[in-house]
Amino acid sequence: MKIKRLALLKRKIAAICIVLLLFPLINATARDLDIFGYFEPQLMGAELGGHFYQLSSNKLRIDLQSRISDMVMFGANFDYITYHGTTQWNVLDFLPEKVRAEARMISYLGMELNPYLLPYEDRQFLDNAYLKLTFKYADVTIGKQQLSLGTGYAWNPTDVFNQKELIDPTYEQPGHNAFRLDVPLGRGFRITSIYAPSEKWEDSDVLVKVKGRFSHFDFSVMGIQKYWKYSDTRVFNLNHNNFLQLKTKRQIGGADLVGELFGLGVWLEYAYNDVKTNDATMSTYFLELEKLTSLISSVRLSSMEIPDTYYELVAGMDYTFDFQSYIMFEFYRNTSAKTDHKTYSLNDWMQYLLAEKKAIARDQLYAYVQHPVTDFINIGSSAIYSISDGSLALVPMITYNIFENVDLSLFVNYYLGDEGTAYAENLGNGGMVRAKVYF
């Protein structure tokens, strides 16, 4: 514990030092420096097993942006988050009894440890820090930056960097360390290349995308190589302080389309995934699985299920009526997910929660409706329906612009599925209140 506290203290000191170093550097060279951001207090709660638990957080985000010259721009974001209330959640409490039976506790120095606890710990981190260089024929962005891909609203098959929260799909995404090159080709066409370095050159992430326009539609085609890990959450590796992992490489061919058709906004997004493993990594995984299994159980575990190939598809449409009501529908298919909830395993659930896969149910439908009651109040609701297992989640919401630069949002979530389904009641009904003060 002392080592952990010391590491946390070092990170805090490093963050403070970065801020102190950046300010004089930027002030010395920049024509103009913009400092802005927001403060976001939030309270969420959920009912589990007849008890209501709550977690509150306070988030301060500071954004720096500077136009150093006509060809150079610098941007950075610092996040400071504190958590209060129930700061440790046992993931197994949300899962069906059949799946919980696959979980294994850890015995260490005579103590039993639960590796399925989800901790919320105070955080201070540099979310983005990048330099954008503008040349005559290209733009280059270097550093930790946001990488958002695809046209989908709730799901993005081509986005290998982020996974959205279905209760609030529009919430900001984290930054990723990468080199980005944007080259305009004329007549509305553009090539984007992204390189995200990893431990080894051959395992780094690479993306090449060509974007263009045809008639009323914008479209993109892309090829992606993404270094990917799948966790076998039935066994925990104390030496590495995480679940046993299998390293793979995803090679992806994708495309997206967005535009207008007969007065409707429409979009499509598709990605074909080829998951590659080599003999060396598979051998290492099998040896580790056998060794760790022998330490915790006499039962021999079979290897986890990893698809060789699969595809993801999103198709959506939206429309705004003359009386300002807005509706949106989006269909999502992921063939790496399953159609029968009785076959959902612990790894299926945990890999979904760890953002290693985008869905646990194969076919899903997302619907959203919103209407402005006044100039300052919007009411709406989203519904997520799992076509595969018949479960349903409803998320009524209201947003209120209380004052200038002050917004208040309320979300309530109801899960209406049978136990074991994607949106089962045992996932915990509850809600969230969030305020946001911009400065």
pLDDT above 50: residue 367: yes
What confidence score (pLDDT) does residue 423 get? 96
The span from the CA of 116 to the CA of 89, in Å, is: 8
pLDDT tier at 426 (50, 70, 90 boundaries)? confident
Calculate mean pLDDT across residues 21-26. Answer: 49
The span from the CA of 414 to the CA of 336, in Å, is: 26
Residue 27 burial by CB count (10 A; 0-12/13-18/19+): exposed, middle or buried? exposed
What confidence score (pLDDT) does residue 239 get? 79
Q: Tell which residue, 375, 369, 373, 393, has the closest CA to residue 383.
A: 393
pLDDT tier at 7 (50, 70, 90 boundaries)? low
Calculate mean pLDDT across residues 394-407. Answer: 96
Residue written as token pair 């979009």: 267
* Share above pLDDT 90 across residues of the chain, in percent, rounded to a whole number: 76
Q: How many residues can be counted in the chain?
A: 439
Enumerate the domain spans of the chain: 1-30, 31-438
pLDDT digits (tens, 9 = 90+) for 94-115: 999 899 989 888 876 767 788 9
pLDDT digits (tens, 9 = 90+) for 187-241: 889 999 999 998 888 889 999 999 999 888 999 999 999 999 999 999 888 878 8
The span from the CA of 312 to the CA of 306, in Å, is: 15
For the chain, the C-alpha Rg in angstroms (whole number) is 23
pLDDT tier at 279 (50, 70, 90 boundaries)? confident
pLDDT tier at 296 (50, 70, 90 boundaries)? low
What confidence score (pLDDT) does residue 436 get? 97
CA distances from 274 to 17, 226, 247, 254, 270 (A): 43, 10, 14, 12, 13
Helix H or strand E encompassing 23: helix 2-29
Q: Are 401 and 376 in contact (CB under 8 A)?
A: yes
Q: Are 133 and 71 in contact (CB under 8 A)?
A: yes
pLDDT above 90: residue 186: no
Biggest CA-to-CA distance, the chain? 69
pLDDT digits (tens, 9 = 90+) for 64-84: 999 999 899 999 999 999 999
Considering the domain 31-438 in this protein, what is its CATH number?
2.40.160.100
What confidence score (pLDDT) does residue 390 get? 96
Per-chain mean pLDDT for the chain: 90
What confidence score (pLDDT) does residue 1 get? 44
pLDDT above 80: residue 295: no
pLDDT tier at 267 (50, 70, 90 boundaries)? very high
pTM of the model: 0.88
